[in-house]
Amino acid sequence: MPHRSQPIKRKRGIMLNARGWQRLQAAEQHAADQHNSGKSFTLQELSDRTGLSPNTLARVRGRKVSVDQQTLESYFRAFGLTLGTEDYTDAESAPVSSRPPVMLTGQLPSDSLFYICRPPSEALCYEGLLQPGALVRIKAPRQMGKTSLAAKVLSQAREQHILTTMTSLRLADTVVLSDLKRFLQWLCAVITQTLELPNQLEQHWDDLFGNSYNCTNYFESYILSKLDQPLVLALDEVDVVFDYPQIAADFFGMLRAWYEKARYGDAKSELWQKLRIVLIHSTEVYVPLNLHQSPFNAGLAIDLPSFNSEQVMELAQRYGLENLDETVAELMSLTGGNPYLVQVGLHHLSGQLVSLEQLVQHSSAIDGVYGPHLRHLLADLQKYPDLIAALKRVVLSTSPFELEPMQAFKLQSKGLVSMQDQQVVPSCNLYRRYFSQALSTTEVF
């Protein structure tokens, strides 16, 4: 019987794994910061740079369809990288989809593949923290990615041997927030524990001097004096303090004084230059603060915007979606680029849990993709009858609507409205659709 030769097996294609994708994204962002004003490259710009077609680049970035090794090598080489075996996996063992197994909510890990940079926010924030005695303020409505941005920048700061702490003021109990002494001692204790230092509040707290002085002295004489490295003090959910006027003015005035201490030019200035403060908040400041005692008109302000179309396109590629142009157009129209709403939509689309048509047509339905989120927003609003009435006026108006400033600030902090000059509009079509239906029977006072 004649011997039959075995057919030559064609080498299977390969796909980027998590490590390779992270390396490539970091190199792209670095190149964008240097040569493209921090703006992410479009597919056409990447094509010009790499010599690969936009379609090929989309397949590589989607990490859903295999490509040949030469393609990946060319892509890496264009950004000064060398492709290693640890950067890819063969198609046979690659995961079916780059979609995360559960829907992403809350703070993203600093190395998450689904974190999308919004230039120049990241670069400005990072460069700000490198400055001695810096004060950086990150402001955006809820679920816009403020904490994820801060976490990413703090991770970069640690690479420069800067100590970092991130504390959510929402962790402070009501009884803590109701008393200035207790709140400042709580803050000192939390930071001390985070830095793994012994608690020495009793040794550094004397009621004769007042609470703000004692807290300042604790940082100056103990925490900062103990450290050989700069320290970033990141305070998240700063808005919580706005609802406690009995502590707000003194607390924020103290933070402004710390910022000024680094600029006095006296013997203690160098010590205070070790401290870099990050304030993360969702809305404008609506508590009365002396102009010269407020930290909210000093330092560097970062107003974190919604995603633009290119950024939604980038995220859709990372989810491995096809029909990108149509998907991006529909999501932008529906969500206005709200990062959380975009993530929810892409998660369901990438898992084929819903079609794009179903997502759009049933977006405001109680049993739709956004149903749980919308019900949560409505339940939260029902605690505040004045905000329900204000939002109803906004969603039913065909033009920008003027609200009482406090109401506008609070609705903006929840991400429900956007400001246009001194007037407000619904922040996206999804909210206009849902709340115009849900509040249609609510009486406006």
Q: What is the pLDDT of residues 146-157, one digit of tens each?
A: 999 999 999 999
Domains 121-303 and 373-438 share a fold: no
**Amino acid letter at 389?**
A
Instruction: Express each pLDDT in 317-352 by its tens digit.
Output: 888 888 889 999 999 999 999 999 999 999 999 888
Residue 132 and residue 230 in contact, taking contact as beta carbons nearer than 8 Å? yes
pLDDT score of 105 more than 70:
no
- Helix (H) or strand (E) segment spanning residue 29: helix 18-35
Which CATH fold topology does 14-90 show? 434 Repressor (Amino-terminal Domain) (1.10.260)
- pLDDT for position 443: 56
Q: What pLDDT sits at residue 2?
A: 45
**33-50 pLDDT per residue, tens:** 788 877 778 888 898 999
Residue 94: how many CB atoms within 10 A of its CB? 20
Q: What is the mean pLDDT of residues 207-231?
A: 96
Q: Are 369 and 359 in contact (CB under 8 A)?
A: yes
Percent of the chain with pLDDT over 70: 92
Q: Confidence class of residue 442 from pLDDT cuts 50, 70 and 90? A: low
The gap between the terminal CA atoms of the chain, to the nearest Å, is 95
Q: Phi/psi at 382 (nearest 5 deg)?
A: -65, -15
Q: Which tokens sit at 251?
A: 């607390």
Report the relative pairing of strands 163-168 and 417-420 from DSSP bridges: unpaired
Strand partners, 15: 89
**Contact, 324 vs 335, CB < 8 A?**
no
Average the pLDDT over each of 209-213, 237-241, 263-267 and give the range with the smallest value.
263-267
The Cα-based distances of 281 to 238, 259, 336, 373, 414 in angstroms read 5, 18, 21, 21, 11
Percent of the chain with pLDDT over 90: 65
- Just give the CATH number of 121-303: 3.40.50.300
Average pLDDT, the chain: 88
Domain ranges in the chain?
Answer: 14-90, 121-303, 373-438
> Does residue 98 surpass a pLDDT of 60?
no
Question: Which pLDDT score is estimated for 307?
Answer: 96
Confidence band of 104 (pLDDT split at 50, 70, 90): low
pLDDT tops 60 at residue 116: yes
pLDDT at residue 87 tops 80: yes
Q: Among 55, 72, 151, 47, which residue's Cα sits nearest to residue 107?
A: 151
Q: What is the pLDDT of residues 382-393, one digit of tens each?
A: 999 999 999 999
Reference 139, options 263, 271, 303; nearest CA is 303
CATH code for the part of the protein at 373-438: 1.10.10
- Residues whose CB is less than 8 angstroms from the CB of residue 62 and which lie 6 or more positions away in sequence, other chains included: 98, 317, 318, 320, 321, 322
